[in-house]
């Protein structure tokens, strides 16, 4: 009888563990991209066809996994139609900037050209600790935990040879671990760049606590036409963002606690979009909405 009782206990305990594990975290296995090079825009290696400064390899989009121009090539000035929303990393400082600083990165406004180069301002970075093992990292949860242990900022003032930097992409559940090498800091007119590899993945459910946050977020009407209302009955504000299915960030805003926040979506084309909600402590979840 005792053996049967213990067997039943073990069976129940195994079922409980399975339920807790399945509810606690869903994270992608990491994918790695290697052999990328970010230039300072004056570098000879990144000149355009006319021999002038090129922004084509001085900005990077971690959603599309490709380089983007860091400035408007038509007038060598900043973008004015929201193109920078896809720039997660843009070259920052460097010997050519006149600041006397080493080559860095930012998702915000660069000090070059009096602020004419800028990113989306929603991607944040931390310097990984010395204990973080880039080579053996396999899960987006590891990247999220390392990010949450640091102090996020839009900028890294100076890239360090061999250092690893963790980014949260556009306030979503996507995390990137970037390993930096071959950092060059020559004089203006020479090639200034750094090489990097990176791993990325998405944490879709962060913790059991997140389910409680999600229970207090309501979006209506569904489908929506001109105005989508996001109701937050949590005791804390949340950050919300609307993205296209291809990852393009369309808008970001804060929904205060115990409020109904109207969002104008009249300018969106008909179709399906993603609304990502971020609560304190890195808790993130995403819902699909339909625009009619």
Which of 151, 178, 202 is a domain's end point?
A: 202
Structurally, the chain folds into a number of domains equal to 2
Question: Dihedral, CA atoms, 233, 208, 137, 238, nearest 10 degrees?
Answer: 0
pLDDT interval class at 16 (50, 70, 90): very low
Looking at residue 29, the DSSP 8-state letter turns out to be: B
pLDDT at 210 exceeding the cut of 60: no
- Whether 242 and 125 map to the same domain: the answer is no
For the segment 53-62, the average pLDDT, to the nearest whole number, is 86
- Whether 71 and 49 map to the same domain: the answer is yes
pLDDT at 99 exceeding the cut of 70: no
For the segment 166-193, the average pLDDT, to the nearest whole number, is 87
- Whether 118 and 171 map to the same domain: the answer is yes
pLDDT interval class at 95 (50, 70, 90): low
Single out the residue of 211, 229, 236, 237 nearest to residue 275, CA to CA: 229
Asked if residue 231 belongs to a domain, the reply is yes
pLDDT, residue 203, reads 87
Q: Which residues pair with 276 in a beta bridge?
A: 241, 286
For the segment 68-78, the average pLDDT, to the nearest whole number, is 80
- Whether 65 and 169 map to the same domain: the answer is yes
pLDDT at 206 exceeding the cut of 50: no
Q: Which one of 69-78, 109-118, 150-159, 211-220 scores highest in mean pLDDT?
A: 150-159
- Whether 196 and 223 map to the same domain: the answer is no
- Whether 122 and 261 map to the same domain: the answer is no
- In angstroms, what is the C-alpha Rg of the chain? 22
pLDDT interval class at 94 (50, 70, 90): low
pLDDT at 169 exceeding the cut of 60: yes
Asked if residue 8 belongs to a domain, the reply is no
pLDDT, residue 227, reads 93
Can you tell me the distance from the alpha carbon of 165 to that of 73, in angstroms, rounded to the nearest whole number?
Answer: 29
The residue segments making up the domain with residue 256 are: 213-291
For the segment 172-192, the average pLDDT, to the nearest whole number, is 85
pLDDT at 266 exceeding the cut of 90: yes
The H helix count followed by the E strand count for the chain is 3, 18
Can you tell me the distance from the alpha carbon of 193 to that of 40, in angstroms, rounded to the nearest whole number?
Answer: 6
Can you tell me the distance from the alpha carbon of 197 to that of 36, in angstroms, rounded to the nearest whole number?
Answer: 6
Can you tell me the distance from the alpha carbon of 152 to that of 127, in angstroms, rounded to the nearest whole number?
Answer: 9
pLDDT at 175 exceeding the cut of 70: yes
Which of 170, 202, 234 is a domain's end point?
A: 202
Q: How high is the mean pLDDT of the chain?
A: 81
Specify whether the CB–CB gap between 93 and 112 falls below 8 A: yes
Can you tell me the distance from the alpha carbon of 117 to that of 96, in angstroms, rounded to the nearest whole number?
Answer: 14
pLDDT interval class at 151 (50, 70, 90): confident
- Whether 89 and 224 map to the same domain: the answer is no
Asked if residue 275 belongs to a domain, the reply is yes
Asked if residue 15 belongs to a domain, the reply is no
Asked if residue 18 belongs to a domain, the reply is no
Q: What is the percentage of the chain residues whose pLDDT exceeds 70? A: 79
pLDDT at 98 exceeding the cut of 90: no
- Whether 66 and 159 map to the same domain: the answer is yes
- Whether 169 and 36 map to the same domain: the answer is yes
pLDDT interval class at 187 (50, 70, 90): low
Which of 149, 175, 202 is a domain's end point?
A: 202
Asked if residue 12 belongs to a domain, the reply is no
Specify whether the CB–CB gap between 292 and 226 falls below 8 A: no
pLDDT interval class at 192 (50, 70, 90): confident
pLDDT, residue 111, reads 63
pLDDT interval class at 212 (50, 70, 90): low
Looking at residue 30, the DSSP 8-state letter turns out to be: P
pLDDT interval class at 235 (50, 70, 90): confident
Asked if residue 46 belongs to a domain, the reply is yes
- Whether 168 and 233 map to the same domain: the answer is no
pLDDT, residue 92, reads 83
- Whether 38 and 153 map to the same domain: the answer is yes
Query: Domain containing 241 — which CATH number?
Result: 2.60.40.3080
Asked if residue 96 belongs to a domain, the reply is yes
- Whether 55 and 128 map to the same domain: the answer is yes
Specify whether the CB–CB gap between 166 and 143 falls below 8 A: yes
The CA-to-CA distance between both ends of the chain, in Å, stands at 63
């Amino acid at each position: 009888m005792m053996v049967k009782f213990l067997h039943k206990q073990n069976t129940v305990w195994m079922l409980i563990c399975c339920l807790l594990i399945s509810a606690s975290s869903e994270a992608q296995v990491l994918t790695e991209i290697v052999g990328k090079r970010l230039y300072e825009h004056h570098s000879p290696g990144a000149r355009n066809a006319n021999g002038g400064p090129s922004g084509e390899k001085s900005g990077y989009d971690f959603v599309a996994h490709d380089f983007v121009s860091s400035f408007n090539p038509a007038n060598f000035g900043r973008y004015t139609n929201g193109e920078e929303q896809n720039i997660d990393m843009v070259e920052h400082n460097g010997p050519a900037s006149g600041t006397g600083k080493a080559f860095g990165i930012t998702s915000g406004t660069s000090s070059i050209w009096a602020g004419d180069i800028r990113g989306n301002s929603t991607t944040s970075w931390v310097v990984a600790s010395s204990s973080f093992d880039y080579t053996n990292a396999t899960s987006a949860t590891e990247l999220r935990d390392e990010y949450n242990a640091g102090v996020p900022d839009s900028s890294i003032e100076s890239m360090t040879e061999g250092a690893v930097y963790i980014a949260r992409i556009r306030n979503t559940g996507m995390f990137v671990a970037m390993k930096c090498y071959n950092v060059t800091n020559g004089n203006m007119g020479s090639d200034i760049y750094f090489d990097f590899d990176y791993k990325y993945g998405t944490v879709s459910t962060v913790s059991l606590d997140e389910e409680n946050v999600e229970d207090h977020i309501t979006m209506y009407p569904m489908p929506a036409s001109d105005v989508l209302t996001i109701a937050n009955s949590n005791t804390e504000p949340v950050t919300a963002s609307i993205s296209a299915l291809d990852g393009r960030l369309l808008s970001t805003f804060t929904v205060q606690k115990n409020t109904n926040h109207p969002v104008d979506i009249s300018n969106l084309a008909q179709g399906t979009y993603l609304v990502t909600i971020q609560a304190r402590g890195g808790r993130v979840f995403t819902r699909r909405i339909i625009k009619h």
